[in-house]
């Protein structure tokens, strides 16, 4: 048998398309179908004959499938956030995935804060804020390369798993709202402070977050909790509101029946 789960409408620029999700007892899976569209004739706007309202048993089977889907999605997202981050915020700690080498640059005291690393409010002694120019370091990097006594350019190499503290995450290139080029790992770099207190610019593609992913058991608990919201449209890529959620209808009727039974017993 086939049990209808939900329906939604996808409003396009010229036409609207109508979709639905149903549970098939023969396969034990939920499937998405296109019910109809304004772009062609013959389609309907909702489920027709041959589809039943879900029972509580069917609802639980669908919820289990939804929980498994949510677990897969948030597990993949957690892996990307830790090992393949697209962004980094100030004071985050990051770790090198591969060795990183570069040239040592000459630095001088910051002229904005006179090397103090902070701005002092002249009216309130307790009001100190990190200098926006040097990010609170008190030193500014010049474009000049540092050299040894023999004139050779000084270089540095950081091994894998070196930990840095993020000062800022910047993107290079031109970005437009509707353009194909968006800020991501391949065009972002991180201004980071190493253990020696020096500031280094490292491509984000070489870095991961300095933490472990959330434990699997915690992710499963989160997926289990989210599955009780019964948002089956999102499981199939629905980005609009649901025009009908038959599971919520059945659960609402069941809750009313339980309340009436409880009131009669009382």
Tracing tokens 């926006």 back to the chain, one arrives at 132
User: What distances in angstroms separate CA 189 from CA 133, 205, 222, 239, one per listed residue?
Assistant: 18, 8, 32, 32
Q: How far apart are CA 75 and CA 216, in angstroms?
A: 8
Closest CA to 168 of 128, 201, 197, 130: 201
Task: Give the predicted TM-score (pTM) of the model.
Answer: 0.77
- Other CB atoms closer than 10 Å to residue 167's CB: what's the count? 22
Of 39-53, 130-144, 234-248, 251-265, which one has max mean pLDDT?
A: 234-248
Q: Give the residue carrying structure tokens 């500031």.
A: 199
pLDDT > 70 fraction of the chain, expressed in percent and rounded? 97
Contact 34, 42 (CB under 8 A): no
Residues in the chain: 266
Mean pLDDT score across all residues of the chain: 88
Taking alpha carbons only, the member of 137, 116, 119, 136 closest to residue 128 is: 119
pLDDT, one tens digit per residue, over 222-245 is: 999 999 999 999 899 888 888 899
Q: To 5 degrees, how large is the angle CA 89–CA 204–CA 110?
A: 60
Mean of the pLDDT values across residues 100-116?
Answer: 84
SS3 category, 4 = strand
* pLDDT tens digits, one per residue of 120-146: 888 888 888 888 787 777 878 777 888
Q: What is the DSSP letter of 184?
A: -
């Amino acid at each position: 048998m086939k049990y209808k789960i939900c329906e939604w409408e996808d409003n396009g620029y010229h036409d609207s398309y109508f979709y639905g999700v149903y549970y098939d007892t023969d396969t034990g899976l939920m499937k998405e179908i296109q019910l109809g569209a304004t772009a062609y004739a013959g389609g309907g706007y909702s489920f027709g004959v041959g589809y039943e309202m879900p029972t509580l048993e069917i609802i639980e089977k669908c919820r289990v499938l939804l929980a498994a889907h949510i677990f897969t999605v948030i597990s993949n997202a957690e892996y990307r956030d830790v090992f393949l981050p697209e962004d980094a915020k100030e004071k985050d700690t990051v770790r090198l995935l591969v060795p990183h080498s570069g040239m040592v640059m000459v630095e001088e005291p910051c002229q904005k804060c006179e090397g103090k690393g902070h701005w002092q409010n002249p009216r309130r002694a307790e009001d100190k804020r990190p200098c926006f120019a040097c990010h609170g370091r008190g030193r500014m990097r010049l474009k000049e390369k540092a050299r040894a006594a023999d004139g050779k350019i000084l270089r540095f190499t950081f091994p894998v798993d070196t930990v840095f503290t993020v000062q800022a995450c910047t993107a290079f290139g031109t970005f437009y709202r509707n353009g194909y080029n968006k800020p991501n790992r391949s065009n972002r770099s991180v201004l980071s402070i190493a253990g020696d207190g020096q500031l280094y610019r490292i491509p984000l593609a070489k870095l991961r977050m300095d933490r472990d992913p959330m434990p699997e058991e915690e992710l499963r608990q989160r997926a289990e909790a989210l599955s009780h919201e019964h948002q089956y449209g999102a499981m199939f890529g629905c980005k609009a509101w649901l025009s009908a959620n038959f599971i919520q209808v059945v659960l609402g009727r069941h809750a009313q029946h339980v309340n009436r039974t409880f009131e009669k017993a009382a």
